[in-house]
Amino acid sequence: MAQTAVLAELTDKQIQFGIKSAYPFRRFLQRYEKSGQITIWYPWYYVSVSVKMDTYLKKGMVYNDLVAVDCLRPVKERVSSYPVSSAQSIADGKILTSKIDETGAKEEAVDLIKGIVLSRNKLLKDYEIQAQACKLFYLKTFVVELKNRPRNEWIYIDEHFEAASKLQLRPEVLSYIQN
């Protein structure tokens, strides 16, 4: 069952930072101004992964890892914990629909951890990596509308993953708010 992440509202400081990040070369007086904002609920799968591995120095190691898999882009991030969740209403914004299922998310999560384990253990002898639980979260993100600018130049701010960019670089969000 999907859950929502508890995140604070967007502050003016975050908006300014987002505009500066997306338009780093615009001078102070020419910097764009906010004219509105849209709330977007963005889906991520959180997949817990179990790792068993032997190296030539230490055998029988077992640990669990956690990977967040973006449901609309082929992006995955290793994360340290699940988002703090609640039964918060998501009626106040637009909800993006996931384009992958649990199986796909698990495969990608395993792939990411496999790459890390292989690259960081020079004396690796054997390993087994398996996906365990998979949970869908809707993270609250924002589109900041800019005064007198076309939609594709608006700013998308994902505070949870500390990302800010022009909407033209986030076509999955742009196409959704155009509809």
Partner 1 sequence: MDEVTIGTWAWFWLVFFIVGTLGIGFYAMTKTKTDEDFAVARKSYGPYILILALASTIASGSTFMGIPGLAYDKGFPALWYPAIYPIGIYIGLILSVRLIKRAGDNFRSNSLPEFLGQRFDSDFLRVGFALLSLLLIYYVTAQVVAAATAFEVMLGVDYRLGVIVTVIVIGIYITIGGSHADILTDAFQGGLMLLIAILITVLFFLGTGTEGGGAAGINEAIAAQDASITWDNYFSPGDPIFGSLWLVILMFIAHLPFAMNPHIGNKAFALKDSAQLRKFLILAIPIGSILGFAVLGGLHARAVIGPELRPDAAIPALFVELFPPALAGFLGIAILSAIISTADGLFVSIAVIFSNDLYRKTFSKKIHPNKSQKEIEKTALNISRVATVITVFAAMWLAWNPPDFLAVLLWIGVGGIMSGAAGPLVIGSIWRRSTKAGAISSFLVGVISYAAMWLVIGWQNPFGAAGVCVLLASAVMVVVSLFTKPMPEEKLNEIFSPVRK
Residue type, 145: E
Q: Which of 29, 84, 91, 123 binds partner 1 (CB under 8 A)?
A: 123
Q: What is the CA radius of gyration of the chain?
A: 19
Helix/strand/coil for 2:
coil
Q: How many residues does the chain have?
A: 179
Q: Which of 120, 147, 148, 178 binds partner 1 (CB under 8 A)?
A: 120
Minimum distance between the CB of residue 87 and partner 1, rounded to whole angstroms?
Answer: 27
Minimum distance between the CB of residue 14 and partner 1, rounded to whole angstroms?
Answer: 13
Nearer to partner 1 by Cβ, of 70 and 145: the residue is 70
User: Are the C-beta atoms of residues 115 and 67 closer than 8 Å to each other?
Assistant: no
Place of tokens 């002898």: 125
Contacts with partner 1 by CB under 8 A: the residue count is 41
Nearer to partner 1 by Cβ, of 29 and 123: the residue is 123
Minimum distance between the CB of residue 56 and partner 1, rounded to whole angstroms?
Answer: 7
Which of positions 54-73 make contact with partner 1 (CB under 8 A)?
55-58, 61-65, 71-73
Task: Confirm or reject binding of residue 77 to partner 1 (CB under 8 A).
Answer: yes
| Cα–Cα nearest to 69, from 19, 133, 125 | 133
Minimum distance between the CB of residue 118 and partner 1, rounded to whole angstroms?
Answer: 8
DSSP 73-90: SS-EEE-SSPPPEE----
Task: Confirm or reject binding of residue 10 to partner 1 (CB under 8 A).
Answer: no
User: Are the C-beta atoms of residues 49 and 113 closer than 8 Å to each other?
Assistant: yes
SS3 letters across 106-140: HHHHHHHHHHHHHHHCCCEEEEEEEEEEEEEEEEE
User: Are the C-beta atoms of residues 136 and 2 closer than 8 Å to each other?
Assistant: yes
Nearer to partner 1 by Cβ, of 38 and 117: the residue is 117
Task: Confirm or reject binding of residue 130 to partner 1 (CB under 8 A).
Answer: no
Binding site for partner 1 (CB under 8 A): 51, 53, 55-58, 61-65, 71-78, 80, 99-100, 111, 115-124, 161-163, 168-172
